[in-house]
Amino acid sequence: MIMEVWYSEWKALFNPLSVRERRCGRAMATSNFSATSSTLAVGFSHCSSISRFIDFNYRHRNSKQLLIRTPSLRKVKRSFAVKNVAGEGAPLKLSSFTPDAASIASSIKYHAEFTPLFSPERFELPKAFFATAQSVRDALIINWNATYDYYEKMNVKQAYYLSMEFLQGRALLNAIGNLELTDAYGEALNKLGHNLENVSCQEPDAALGNGGLGRLASCFLDSLATLSYPAWGYGLRYKYGLFKQRITKDGQEEVAENWLEMGSPWEIVRNDVSYPVKFYGKVVKGSDGKSHWIGGEDIKAVAYDVPIPGYKTKTTINLRLWSTTAPSEDFDLNAFNAGDHAKGCEAQVNAEKICYILYPGDESEEGKTLRLKQQYTLCSASLQDIIACFERRSGEHVKWEEFPEKVAVQMNDTHPTLCIPELMRILLDLKGMSWKEAWDITKRTMAYTNHTVLPEALEKWSLELMEKLLPRHVEIIEMIDEELINAIISEYGISDPELLEKKLNTMRILENVDFPASVSDLFVKPEKSPAVDLSEEEHSNEEHVSSNEDEPEEEDMQEEEVEDLEPILEPPEMVRMANLCVVGGHTVNGVAEIHSEIVKEEVFNEFYKLWPGKFQNKTNGVTPRRWIRFCNPDLSNIITKWIGTEDWVLHTEKLAELVKFSDNEDLQLEWRAAKRRNKMKVVSFLKEKTGYSVSPDAMFDIQVKRIHEYKRQLLNILGIVYRYKKMKEMSASERKAKFVPRVCIFGGKAFATYVQAKRIVKFITDVGVTVNHDPEIADLLKVVFVPDYNVSVAELLIPASELSQHISTAGMEASGTSNMKFAMNGCILIGTLDGANVEIRQEVGDENFFLFGAQAHEIAGLRKERAEGKFVPDPRFIEVKEFVRSGVFGSSSYDELMGSLEGNEGFGQADYFLVGKDFPSYIECQEKVDEAYKDQRRWTRMSIMNMACSYKFSSDRTIHEYARDIWNIEPLKLP
Instruction: Give 748-802 as a DSSP string.
Output: ----TT-HHHHHHHHHHHHHHHHHHT-TTTGGGEEEEEESS--HHHHHHHHHH-S
Q: Which residues are catalytic?
A: 451, 705-706, 711, 817, 821
CA 146 to chain centre: 29
Q: Strand 92-93 to strand 80-83: parallel, antiparallel, or no bridges (unpaired)? A: antiparallel
Buried b (16+ CB within 10 A) or exposed e, 510-527: bbeeebeeebeeeeeeee
3-class secondary-structure state, position 384? helix
Please give the Cα distance from 247 to 788 (Å, whole number): 8
DSSP H or E stretch at residue 34: strand 34-37
Residue 218 near residue 621, CB atoms below 8 Å:
no
Please give the Cα distance from 711 to 125 (Å, whole number): 39
Question: C-alpha dihedral over 855, 861, 867, 873, to 10 degrees?
Answer: -50
* Residue 926: half-sphere exposure toward Cβ, Cα within 13 Å: 26
Residue at 377: amino acid letter? T
Give the single-character DSSP code of 954.
B
Please give the Cα distance from 646 to 327 (Å, whole number): 52
- For the chain, what's the residue count? 975
Please give the Cα distance from 816 to 818 (Å, whole number): 6
Cα dihedral sign for 59, 63, 67, 68? positive
Please give the Cα distance from 68 to 751 (Å, whole number): 38
Q: Strand 49-54 to strand 66-71: parallel, antiparallel, or no bridges (unpaired)? A: antiparallel
Question: Per residue, what are the HEC states of 604-636?
Answer: CHHHHHHCHHHEEECCCCECHHHHHHHCCHHHH
Residue 930 near residue 635, CB atoms below 8 Å:
no
Question: Per residue, what are the HEC states of 44-95?
Answer: CHHHCEEEEEECCCCCCCCCCCEEEEEECCCCCCCCEEEECCCCCCCCEEHH
CA nearest 477: which of 610, 615, 574? Answer: 574
Residue at 87: amino acid letter? G
User: By CB neighbour count within 10 A (0-12 exposed, 13-18 middle, 19+ buried), where does 942 fall?
Assistant: buried
Give the single-character DSSP code of 295.
S
Please give the Cα distance from 692 to 682 (Å, whole number): 11
Cα-only R_g, the chain:
31
Residue 231 near residue 317, CB atoms below 8 Å:
yes
Give the single-character DSSP code of 8.
H
